[in-house]
Amino acid sequence: METDEGLLQWLENIDTFGIGVVDGVPPTHEDTAKLAKRITFIRETHYGKYWSFTADMAHADTAYTNMALPAHTDTTYFTEPIGIQLFHITNFQGRGGESLYVDGFHIAKKLKKVNPDAYDLLSRFPVPTHSAGDPKFFMTPQFSRGVPILNHDPLTGALRMVRFNNDDRSVLDARFLEKPMEVEAFYDALREWTKLLRSPKNEVYIKLEPGRVAAVNNWRVLHGRSEFDGKRTVGGCYIGMDDFKSRLRILKEGNDIYKNDL
């Protein structure tokens, strides 16, 4: 990561596959933050600039427990969810706690093939979300009716973002739905989506250890973990998608990027 060539390879892996791993990072918060800043500046949120958590319920969030977490994306309650997320287990003395990753674009492709009606509904049905329980914050997107789970480019129609966290999903209010009669069909589609998402065939578990940092495209790859016992400390931070893409383009094209845009 000390060279731009090595950094570019890492960022291209994240951009192409939705995840990129770096080994040999000293297991400290300072060194993990330093690695993140090789990409760009860190996006600060209500969790802080660089966050570190263990099973102490410091925030009213399931991440701060030792329970298993099903695959999800982070910050679905933001108007624009964070783009890239870094994970580094800086200390672990116990059992379990394997990191779970699922390619959301792959799941969406499967759903579209086996149940196109469900895919269509999840692409347009507004899902309200929130982050509640913390006495200092109450986060909701600035969309009154919510945002679909599958989000597409308005010009090309290509899938550009998956935003799904069942634990952050709010109650549906029929008063804000254009077609209230679709509520039952939505839950049927959600059931099909969740079935594919939690199929062992679509899950990848990786044993992250001190020294190994995983960077995940939060718009594409869902993450989770298995249950654990003992002491487990995870550090990491968020990076905005626009900032990540900017750094990637500059590393790939340099000053030629301006010529190509003229």
Asked if 220 contacts 81 with a C-beta cutoff of 8 angstroms, the reply is no
Average the pLDDT over 101-120 and give the result. 98
Higher pLDDT, 148 or 145: 148
- Residue 93 scores a pLDDT above 90: no
3-class DSSP state of 51: strand
Closest CA to 152 of 120, 177, 189: 120
Of 21-30, 44-53, 132-141, the range with the lowest mean pLDDT is 132-141
Average the pLDDT over 219-231 and give the result. 91
pLDDT for the residue numbered 136: 79
pLDDT for the residue numbered 60: 52
Of 73-77, 139-143, 152-156, 205-209, the range with the lowest mean pLDDT is 139-143
- Residue 48 scores a pLDDT above 50: yes
Q: What is the pLDDT of residues 8-23, one digit of tens each?
A: 999 999 999 999 999 9
- Residue 57 scores a pLDDT above 70: no
Q: Which residues pair with 152 in a beta bridge?
A: 159
Higher pLDDT, 16 or 54: 16
Contacts 24+ apart (CB under 8 A), 200-207: 202/102, 202/103, 202/106, 202/107, 202/110, 203/71, 203/100, 203/101, 203/102, 204/100, 204/101, 204/102, 205/98, 205/99, 205/100, 205/101, 206/21, 206/98, 206/99, 206/101, 207/98, 207/99
- Residue 1 scores a pLDDT above 70: no
User: Percent of the chain beyond pLDDT 70?
Assistant: 90
- Residue 259 scores a pLDDT above 70: no
> Which of 20-29, 52-61, 166-175, 253-262 is the most confident on average?
20-29
Q: Work out the pLDDT band at 262, boundaries 50, 70, 90.
A: very low
Over the range 42-81, which residues count as b (16 or more CB within 10 Å of their CB) and which as e? bbebebeebbbbbbeeebeebbeebeebbbbbbbbbbeeb
Work out whether strand 204-206 and strand 99-103 pair parallel, antiparallel, or are unpaired: antiparallel
pLDDT for the residue numbered 229: 84
pLDDT for the residue numbered 243: 97
Average the pLDDT over 196-217 and give the result. 95
Query: Please, what is the angle between helix 4-17 and helix 241-253, to 10°?
Result: 130
Average pLDDT value over all residues in the chain: 89
Higher pLDDT, 55 or 116: 116
- Residue 66 scores a pLDDT above 90: no
- Per this entry, what is the length of the chain? 262
pLDDT for the residue numbered 132: 73
User: Percent of the chain beyond pLDDT 90?
Assistant: 67
